[in-house]
């Protein structure tokens, strides 16, 4: 998988943010008490930065990312950013309290992380579902256009003008048919696809009368399909 360079720069930006945080934490302030709770919180802050970098690369880092990918990935990246801010604030507060018990620090940070994981997984599931739905609808659009293209191709091979006219009428019916479908119409659409394939076999065999009859049948079935499609919406 190729990675878009501009999103590598985004990941580098988050890494730079972590280095600046360390600079402030250890150099500019410096006099921290390095208690177990301090290091516990520091590790979780590190995890938050690493998660932000990982989410940035995985969500947006593929080469050829489209606007819809940015839209679908936004809830995931926002969730990671919110977790980073919360973990950063909670971790810094715990670091400022040397007397804080390490078990308490761990419980606080693990609860914050658990909430983030829930939101992250939910976002990934929603994104995957949206992508599958979009792919399914795209296939449906292609299905109608593909049938139209096939019928237009068959019409070019037909000699009888009456048969050719009927085929072109079928192609026009397909052109203006609703590309969106419904699961309840799958058997009817399968029948239409099979009949269109049968029209092609008739044309190749020179049985133009049978092809004409099949066209009439498909046009009627297509009208029924389109009417049901409107009702089911």
Place of tokens 């919180």: 41
**Euclidean distance between CA atoms 160 and 150, whole angstroms:** 18
Alpha-carbon distances of 158 from 21, 174, 190, 208, 220, rounded to whole Å: 75, 19, 25, 7, 21
Query: How many CB atoms neighbour CB 29 within 10 A?
Result: 11
**Euclidean distance between CA atoms 91 and 164, whole angstroms:** 75
- Spatial neighbors of 214 by CB under 8 A, at least 6 apart, are 195, 198, 199, 202
**Euclidean distance between CA atoms 227 and 233, whole angstroms:** 10
Range list of β-strands (E), 20-135:
none
Nearest to 181 by CA among 190, 172, 170: 190
**Euclidean distance between CA atoms 73 and 67, whole angstroms:** 10
User: Going residue by residue through the chain (233 aa), what tens digit of pLDDT does each one get?
Assistant: 455 565 667 677 788 888 888 888 777 666 667 888 889 999 999 999 888 888 877 766 555 556 666 666 778 888 888 999 999 999 988 888 888 899 999 999 999 999 999 988 888 888 777 777 766 666 666 577 888 889 999 999 898 999 999 999 999 998 888 776 667 778 888 889 899 999 999 999 999 999 999 999 999 999 988 888 888 76
62 forms bridges with which residues in the sheet? 3
Q: What is the CA radius of gyration of the chain?
A: 30
Instruction: Give, in degrees to the nearest 5, the angle at Cα 170 between 166 and 174.
Output: 170
3-state SS class at 10: helix
Q: Is the pTM of this model over 0.85?
A: no
CB 21 within 8 A of CB 28: no
């Amino acid at each position: 998988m190729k990675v878009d360079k501009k999103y590598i720069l985004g990941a580098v930006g988050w890494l730079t943010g972590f280095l600046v945080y360390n600079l402030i934490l250890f150099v500019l302030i410096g006099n921290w008490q390095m208690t177990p709770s301090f290091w516990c919180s520091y590790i979780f802050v590190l995890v938050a930065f690493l998660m932000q970098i990982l989410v940035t690369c995985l969500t947006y880092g593929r080469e050829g990312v489209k606007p819809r990918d940015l839209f679908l990935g936004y809830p995931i990246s926002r969730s990671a950013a919110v977790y980073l801010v919360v973990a950063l604030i909670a971790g810094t507060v715990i670091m400022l309290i040397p007397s804080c018990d390490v078990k308490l620090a761990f419980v606080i940070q693990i609860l914050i992380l658990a909430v983030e994981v829930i939101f992250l997984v939910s976002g990934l599931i929603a994104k995957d579902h949206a992508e599958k739905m979009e792919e399914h609808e795209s296939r449906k659009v292609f299905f109608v256009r593909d049938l139209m293209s096939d019928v237009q191709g068959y019409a070019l091979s037909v000699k009888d003008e009456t048969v050719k006219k009927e085929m072109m009428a079928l192609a026009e019916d397909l052109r203006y048919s609703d590309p969106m479908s419904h699961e309840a119409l799958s058997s009817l659409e399968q029948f239409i696809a099979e009949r269109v394939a049968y029209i092609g076999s008739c044309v190749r065999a020179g049985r133009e009368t049978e092809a004409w009859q099949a066209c009439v049948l498909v046009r009627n079935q297509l009208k029924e399909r389109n009417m049901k499609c409107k009702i089911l919406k």
